[in-house]
Structure 1
């Protein structure tokens, strides 16, 4: 079967190369913003947007003009890809209402936010993986930290080479990275027979229907968030102090496009703190997804919509909301977990192993009794306890939640239409979900 994987490495650059990469990313950003400005003018006049082909011809004219002659420094393909991205973003805004691919109208790109560019055509001789080198247009050979080979590793340890389709160059916290989008032709893997249902929550990030739990290092993340809040207060104080000095004529007027050395340093520290949080969260997602893919061939998850779950309860001045502070804390806890990224990591890990992820509707999964089927909100007397008012069945609420997800997934017709997965049970009693009792405090497992 065909499989697409991304391999990301850190580039080893000097000041000259970093300056050139920044100019390339700046040229891409300038082309995107210039084209978006033209599209906005046509939108105000209720005219049809300019197509990509027309934009490509305009790009040639921009290069020949004196005002934008600096575009000749950047690779042409990177600039063309920027126009393609804008064309695709505009088309997504005209999708039907309710389409998950529908997006809002694109906005202008800002400096130091998502800097990078993409090269769609790659020659095999431009990648020297054994020596950790890549050849970029107008830059030549650049070395990268070869932390792993550019190949797909099978379960038996064999490495299968692939074909690099695209190269992405990105910047993060002052460092440049190269990502190889690679296509592999691998043998069909043996699908594992066991399946499992999972529940995502606040107390335990992931709870399986057999009682196992995986916890995110929330305490470290909260500590880093406190440090970020302190740095942001200093950043705000720097701005207000600069404006006061400028009013007295003791300093130049504040301009965020020309930050001072102190302001640049504070922003760099904030970026590094955010990157550390992302790294902790990403490490947890990938380790949890790998653990599930190693053991199960099918994983059932809830089709949750985080945007709806984290809506503010503040209300309006005429009709103020209730329990605003509690809801705000709950929203932060949900966003801290990164539920969408977790589901995506599980899907990617299962896809490599030949498994599948099935999303089930989340309605009443926390109120339904898996023993008798009684659905009542009184079945949840507390947040952590499930006690059925009909049959008296009791268990941990998160485990009951994940059991209901698994039962819904097994009854879903899509589970039989997509792949033939035998619903075999493990020797640990996973086949009978009711035989699993709530884990004690000492049985919590963490992959962080």
Structure 2
């Protein structure tokens, strides 16, 4: 499987070179397909990749260019060896011949590899449950530091869900409080980034023993790296230490994704209308270093905030909520983000000094004086914007404000 993954990456790179060198008038799928077939005949190590998997690489590469032409993504580029996830696509499901051995394990047929055992984590349409409308259409092999994994593509017919009759809720994504809900049912993973140990901000999903082990491994790696001469090949012991570090990092990443999936599923099941704010996350995590002529301020603090925002994966949370709310019959809406954290959710005014503390909101309006969690205050403002008809409608890649007829945007209520 390692050889197939390397061959698939090389096929992508060869296709990319051939596509960019070929004049635009002569670029076509048929020409690229003929080139792949000839290359598999002439080069032995490219023939390790099954023919169907090579065709899948071509389809994926062409799909990447279509996404570029339609403005949904950047141009496809070269796949480097050490920065690319090793993967192999199996586009035909009829050759997999999936069988279940017992409760925890199953067997699958991998082309040019043979029968392979895999961990059974979800029910698959095999045997009597399989049919034209409920069947396995393919699979994808992916390798990370924890080993090889297989993801099955399944075609199934599901009934259209009934409209969700649950309540409305506004959600504000934060750092101190991961998901603040407007009704006070906040979702916290219990791993605050403001812990006394230095590794808490980076590896807060590891338990104390794992953090101590990670610290020992990093010290060991730094010690062994000090003996390596410039341009000298990395020793086996140092590579082994790096692999152990990556395994702990991958464990933390999986725990974070597991919490995110379970939390978003619970929200989609509970609420019929979910409202979030439209965030431009790439701009939020830009470095504050500045230039030589105009150096930035508080660079270290901004760098720590950027890491915390990236680890919380706000964009993935919205993506999960988008398809999960639709699955359970609910809807997800986005509202403009400006001033949601600065405006008081009780009186509706923006008064200077209300956000002196990062975690607490205290309204400085003499007639109000409301105080509470800052993220909760923002979540209430997000829900209010939706109820005032300020939801955003995506149109041609832009966000358009939808306002209810006869209702003006209010700064006070």
Query: TM-score under structure 1 normalisation?
Result: 0.74
- Per the alignment, do residues 133 and 104 of structure 1 end up closer, same or farther by CA in structure 2, a change over 3 Å counting? same
Deviation, structure 1 residue 104: 4.5
- Structure 1 match to 2:327: 352
Distance 1:91 1:77, change over 3 A: same
Give the structure 2 partner of residue 30 of structure 1.
10
Residue in structure 1 matching 2:253, options 278, 300, 304: 278
- Using a 3 Å threshold, how does the CA distance of structure 1 residues 416 and 118 change in structure 2: closer, same or farther? closer
**2:276 equivalent among 301, 324, 332:** 301
Give the secondary-structure state (helix, strand or coil) at the position aligned to 2:304. Answer: helix
**Take 2:351 and 2:61, find their aligned partners in 1: how far apart are those partners?**
49
State which of 145, 164, 173 in structure 2 corresponds to 1:173: 145
Q: State the Cα deviation string for residues 403-441 of structure 1 (Å, max 9, x = none).
A: 111122233476999xxxxxxxxxxxxxxxxxxxxxxxx
Q: 1:136 to 1:159 in 2, by over 3 A?
A: closer
SS at match of 2:45: helix
Could you tell me how far apart the structure 1 residues matched to 2:118 and 2:158 are?
Answer: 26
Q: 1:69 aligns with which of 44, 51, 60?
A: 44
Paired position in structure 2 for 1:254: 232
Match of 1:163 in 2: 135
Counterparts of 1:39 and 1:298 in 2: how far apart (Å)? 46
Aligned counterpart, 1:83 = 58
Change beyond 3 A, Cα 1:322–1:125: closer
Match of 1:204 among 151, 174, 177: 177
SS at match of 1:311: coil
Distance 1:102 1:112, change over 3 A: closer
1:331 CA displacement: 0.9
Give the secondary structure class of the aligned counterpart of 2:156. Answer: strand
Map 1:348-387 → 2, pairs under 5 A: 348-383=323-358, 384-387=360-363
The match for 1:331 among 306, 311, 323 is: 306
**TM superposition shift of 1:111:** 4.7
**CA positional deviation for 1:188:** 2.9
Structure 1's 122 and 105: CA in aligned 2 closer, same or farther, altered over 3 A? closer
| TM-score, structure 2 normalization | 0.79
Structure 1 residues 91 and 185: alpha-carbon distance in aligned structure 2, compared to 1, 3 A threshold: closer
Match of residue 59 from structure 1: 36
Asked whether the 8 Å contact 1:51–1:87 carries over to 2, the reply is no
**Greater relative contact order (Cα < 8 A, sep 6+):** 1
Distance 1:59 1:125 in 2: 24
Kept after mapping to 1: 8 A contact 2:385/2:391: no
- Looking at structure 1, the residues matched to 306 and 250 of structure 2 have their Cα atoms a distance apart, in angstroms, of 21
The whole-number CA distance in structure 2 between the counterparts of 1:23 and 1:285 is 34
Q: Distance in 2 between matches of 1:278 and 1:240?
A: 29
- Give me the whole-angstrom Cα distance separating, in 1, the residues matched to 2:376 and 2:48: 58
Deviates more, 1:110-119 or 1:128-137: 128-137
Instruction: Give, in whole Å, the separation in 1 of the partners of 2:151 and 2:304.
Output: 36
Deviation at 1:75, TM superposition (A): 1.2
Once residues 261 and 365 of structure 1 are traced to their aligned partners in structure 2, the CA distance between those partners, rounded to angstroms, is 53
Provide the rounded CA distance (Å) in 1 between the counterparts of 2:171 and 2:331.
Answer: 14
Partner of 1:254: helix, strand, or coil?
Answer: coil
- Give the aligned length: 371
